[in-house]
Structure 1
Amino acid sequence: MVGLNKNIMRTILIASYIMLVALIISGVSAIFSYLNTGADRSSMLHTEIKKVEQYLPKMDWAPLQNEGRPMDDENLKSIENDYLDAWYVRHVAYKSNKIAGIKDYYTESARENLFNIIERNKTENITIESTSLEHHPTLEFFSEDGQLAVITDKNVIEYKRIFKAEKLVLETTETATYKIVLLLEDGFWRIRHMVKENSETRSESNQTASVDGLHIKGINYYPQASPWDMFGEKFHKDTISKDFKIIKDAGLNSVRIFVQYDDFGKAAVKPEKLEKLKQTLDAAEENKLKVVLTLFDFYGDYSVLNWTLNQRHAETIVNAVKNHGALLAYDIKNEPNLDFESRGQDNVMAWLEHMIDLVKSVDSRHPVTIGWSNTESATLLKDKVDFVSFHYYDDLSALDGAVKALKTEIPNKAIVLQEFGLSSYRGFWKPFGSTEEDQANYHKKAQEIIANHDLQFMSWTLYDFAEIPKEVVGRLPWRKRVQGYFGFINQNGETKPAFRYIAKK
């Protein structure tokens, strides 16, 4: 028995020793890995820095006429990649006030100034959210040994928000020129000198685009079989064309459709989605309808570091459709004021202003608007948009006064009631809800108010829907069921009583 106990104790001791050695080896390995993270540029700042996903400012190189050695495409691309990485790392460092990763993109002499700025900002409790939006570099010199490059980056557009003790103290957009010297070290181009010079501020056009003389009488549109997934696997142009004919025959002249940011591929817009969008515009043109195109649907991240990705997305979409005959206007964002509380009103407003400028820089002809969720927010950015849009789902008794107040504050721009409607759902989840007759009376009264104020309008929506994605109103069944019955046409394809008032006859 004593021998047995000794064997058990010996086994326990040996097992404990093995476990202790394994833990020590694991700990040493983790420390060694941590100490070597600086050598791995992809794991800098404990986040993966991949420009294709993180940072895509507009980059417009001047034609190559540099002194010294002729530049080839491979070396130029390498310089561009590392140069933009350096900008991105600097933005991250100024926001976090941490120096990790800077040494990978700046030589020892260049990073000393950055370290000093970061240290001073930490001491004074200052943080800077910033991004560069456009670069226009010219290669001035490329050394014969391929180790040194000099560039002049003209008209760099930078957006900055400066915070002191977490309070916004300055918001600015700057345009400047930079003189840059880069050295090739350890296979990477690092900035050795970076000198900022003043340059002329680029003038912005004050011309306001027209609405092409159209008095909007329209409707928000999703196909009945694929609501909130219009450009997915169930897409059929013939189906959309038949629906557009119904809309046109009902006396309407326009539709509002939605481009979802993630669905279309974020910064790398999917060609197949663009093709379906163009086919939709073709169907609208064939049926003599105009289209209000709502961008950035279901997008809710307004952080400055992501602005370049949003730019690439918007530029691609706008460039693809700006010459189409069916296009009427761009709606920059659907109900962005609903994000004020969770994302911060200042952040959302700054993003909206930038996106308006960006869309107009790509397409100066078509007007822009913002689909505010209520009348209270509709006056925001009234001087930036070309016409004012608001949504209204409150009691109609207050609509007359709300419109009068809007017209008093915004006397010189068109006002569009861009969403309104009433669900006809009365069932298990809402036994005292509105009936189809209630819905018809609602639209009759709404059209009377619209006529009295000569409002432009786009009602919600053509069809009742059997399935509502949880992303729209959440998972609660009583919310999803109600959302499915706003249409003028029921799930069996039959027109409801409200169809008589889809437009003022």
Structure 2
Amino acid sequence: MVGLNKNILRTILIISYIMVIALIISGLSAVFSYLNTGADRSSMLHTEIQKVEQYMPQLVWEPLQNEGRPMDNENLNALQNDYLDAWYVKQIAYKTNKTAGIKDYYTDSARKNLFDFIALNKAEDITIDATTLKHHPTLEFFSEDGQLAVITDRNVVEYKSVFKAEQLVLETTETSTYKMVFLLEDGFWRIRHLVKEHSEPYTFDTEPINTANLDIKGINYYPQANPWDMFGDDFSTSILSKDFDIIKNAGLNSVRIFVQYEDFGKANVKPEKLEKLKQTLDLAEAHSLKVVLTLFDFYGDYSVMDWTLNQRHAETIVSTFKNHKALLAWDIKNEPNLDFESRGKPNVIAWLDNMIDFVKSVDASHPVTIGWSNTQSAPILKDKVDIVSFHYYENLEHLNDAIKTLKTEIPNKPLVLQEFGLSSYSGLWKPNGASDEDQANYHKKIQEHIAANNLQFMSWTLYDFTYIPKAVVGSLPWRKNAQEHYGFIDKNGQTKPAFDYIAKP
């Protein structure tokens, strides 16, 4: 027994010794690997500037004809990335009055000026919300040793809003020219010297779009089986074709459909989503229907730091479909005024103003509109849009007066009643709700108002739905049940009495 215990003890000691040696070797290996491997640059960055999709302004280099050494694509890409990151960290610093990340992209002398400026703003309770939207850099010089570069960046479109004690005191968009000297330090292209050589107010002008021949008689559309998920896994061209046939035969000529910002991939739009959208537009064209395409559905940030990402999203979609024969108009955003309280009215309007200009810069041929949730907000940016669109779910007794007010404020733009309807839900959660007959009378009456006021229109919506996502109206049953019953066709595929008034009084 004693011999057996000694053997067990000896075995335990040997195993322990092997484990200790293994741990020592593993530790030495990790240290050796660390000392012989350059630090991953993304791990060196502060949390605020991790290498994620964060800042994507338009950037077009002039052809490389610089003095000194020729620059290869690898060096040019590294310089470009560091240059844009330098802008980004500076904008974050001005917004937060914190200096995190500045040292990674500016040399000692350059960062001193930034630190002084940030300290002054902090003392005066000033913050700056800014971004650049376009860059046109020219490489002027690249040193023979590859350690110094000089760039002139012309026609930089720069937006900024200045706040004093959280109150907006200045909002401006400028076009500027910058001259910069870069030094390569520790693998970083850092700005050594930066001078703004020229600046002037940014202006954007487009030719007026002819809207005289518009005659929108349409409907807001989602498939019955997958509302608010039209381009998801259940996308079906056969269902779209059947529904578009119903819409066309009902006497309508257009549909309004929605592109969800996140679902389509945000700044990097998913090719499979573009393909489904193309198929939808192709089917609309085949059925002689025009399409009002609503962008940025379910987007609600409006942050200035998000603008370049938003532009890349819009750029992809607008440039892809601007020549499609089915396209009728771009609807920048659905009911953005509902975000005024939570996101700040000036922020939302600034975003809309900028996005209108951007969409028009990509497509100067199709009209642009905004889907305001009520008549009160409809005059906002009236001089920027080509069509004034508003929604109306209020008492019909006040509709005529609201339209007269709009026509007085906006005499020279077509008015589109872009959403309207009445739920036919009456049940446990709303015992005094409307019936199918009430819904039919509503549509008969509102079509009389439409005809009397010579309005163009798009009703809500073709189908009753069996499922409403929480993101649409929340989880309260009286809201969800009501939202399910706005259609002209019920859950069993039968037309409701209101269908008689889908296109005429």
Q: TM-score, normalised by structure 2?
A: 0.91
Question: Which whole-Å CA distance do the structure 2 matches of 1:443 and 1:281 have between them?
Answer: 28
In the alignment, is the contact (CA less than 8 A) between 1:160 and 1:172 conserved in 2? yes
Structure 1 counterpart of 2:119, which letter?
E
In the alignment, is the contact (CA less than 8 A) between 2:174 and 2:199 conserved in 1? no
Number of the residue aligned with 1:322: 322
Structure 1 counterpart of 2:301, which letter?
D
Task: Report how many aligned residue pairs link the two structures.
Answer: 467
Deviation readout 1:354-393 (Å, 9 max, x if unpaired): 1001100110111100000001111111111111000000
Identity of aligned residues (%): 72
Q: 1:330-409 to 2 correspondence within 5 Å?
A: 330-409=330-409
Question: Which whole-Å CA distance do the structure 2 matches of 1:470 and 1:202 have between them?
Answer: 41
Structure 2 counterpart of 1:115, which letter?
F
Number of the residue aligned with 1:268: 268
Question: Which whole-Å CA distance do the structure 2 matches of 1:203 and 1:95 have between them?
Answer: 25
Number of the residue aligned with 2:19: none
Number of the residue aligned with 1:250: 250
Question: Which whole-Å CA distance do the structure 1 matches of 2:484 and 2:421 have between them?
Answer: 12
Number of the residue aligned with 2:280: 280
In the alignment, is the contact (CA less than 8 A) between 1:211 and 1:366 conserved in 2? no
Structure 2 counterpart of 1:236, which letter?
S
In the alignment, is the contact (CA less than 8 A) between 1:209 and 1:367 conserved in 2? yes
Question: Which whole-Å CA distance do the structure 1 matches of 2:172 and 2:250 have between them?
Answer: 48
Structure 1 counterpart of 2:153, which letter?
D
Question: Which whole-Å CA distance do the structure 2 matches of 1:120 and 1:151 have between them?
Answer: 28
- Residues 1:456 and 2:452 are matched in the alignment: no
Q: Secondary structure at the match of 1:119?
A: helix
Shift in Å, 1:203:
4.5
Question: Which whole-Å CA distance do the structure 1 matches of 2:141 and 2:219 have between them?
Answer: 57
Q: Secondary structure at the match of 1:47?
A: helix
Structure 1 counterpart of 2:431, which letter?
P
Shift in Å, 1:462:
0.4
Shift in Å, 1:44:
3.9
Number of the residue aligned with 2:47: 46
Number of the residue aligned with 2:113: 113
Number of the residue aligned with 1:69: 69
Number of the residue aligned with 1:191: 191
Question: Which whole-Å CA distance do the structure 1 matches of 2:361 and 2:244 have between them?
Answer: 31
Question: Which whole-Å CA distance do the structure 2 matches of 1:353 and 1:293 have between them?
Answer: 18
Distance 1:112 1:461, change over 3 A: same
Number of the residue aligned with 1:205: 205
Shift in Å, 1:490:
0.6
Question: Which whole-Å CA distance do the structure 1 matches of 2:314 and 2:58 have between them?
Answer: 12
Q: Secondary structure at the match of 2:292?
A: strand
Number of the residue aligned with 1:491: 491
Q: Secondary structure at the match of 1:175?
A: strand
Q: Secondary structure at the match of 2:53?
A: helix
Question: Which whole-Å CA distance do the structure 1 matches of 2:385 and 2:158 have between them?
Answer: 22
In the alignment, is the contact (CA less than 8 A) between 2:49 and 2:101 conserved in 1? no
Q: Secondary structure at the match of 1:332?
A: strand
Question: Which whole-Å CA distance do the structure 1 matches of 2:75 and 2:493 have between them?
Answer: 61
Question: Which whole-Å CA distance do the structure 2 matches of 1:362 and 1:67 have between them?
Answer: 34
Q: TM-score, normalised by structure 1?
A: 0.91
Question: Which whole-Å CA distance do the structure 1 matches of 2:82 and 2:46 have between them?
Answer: 16
Deviation readout 1:434-480 (Å, 9 max, x if unpaired): 00000000000000000000000000000000000000000111110
Q: Secondary structure at the match of 2:194?
A: strand
Shift in Å, 1:48:
4.3
Number of the residue aligned with 2:417: 417
Shift in Å, 1:49:
2.5
Structure 2 counterpart of 1:253, which letter?
N
Number of the residue aligned with 2:479: 479
Number of the residue aligned with 2:97: 97
Question: Which whole-Å CA distance do the structure 1 matches of 2:68 and 2:220 have between them?
Answer: 59
Number of the residue aligned with 1:10: none
Shift in Å, 1:214:
2.1
Shift in Å, 1:46:
3.1
- Which range is displaced more, 492-501 or 195-204? 195-204
Question: Which whole-Å CA distance do the structure 2 matches of 1:119 and 1:220 have between them?
Answer: 52
Shift in Å, 1:245:
1.0
For the aligned residues, what is the CA RMSD? Answer: 1.4
Deviation readout 1:244-270 (Å, 9 max, x if unpaired): 111111111100000000000010100
Structure 1 counterpart of 2:486, which letter?
F
Shift in Å, 1:119:
1.2
Shift in Å, 1:165:
1.2
Q: Secondary structure at the match of 1:71?
A: coil
Question: Which whole-Å CA distance do the structure 1 matches of 2:245 and 2:40 have between them?
Answer: 62
In the alignment, is the contact (CA less than 8 A) between 2:206 and 2:364 conserved in 1? no
Q: Secondary structure at the match of 1:218?
A: strand
Distance 1:193 1:408, change over 3 A: same
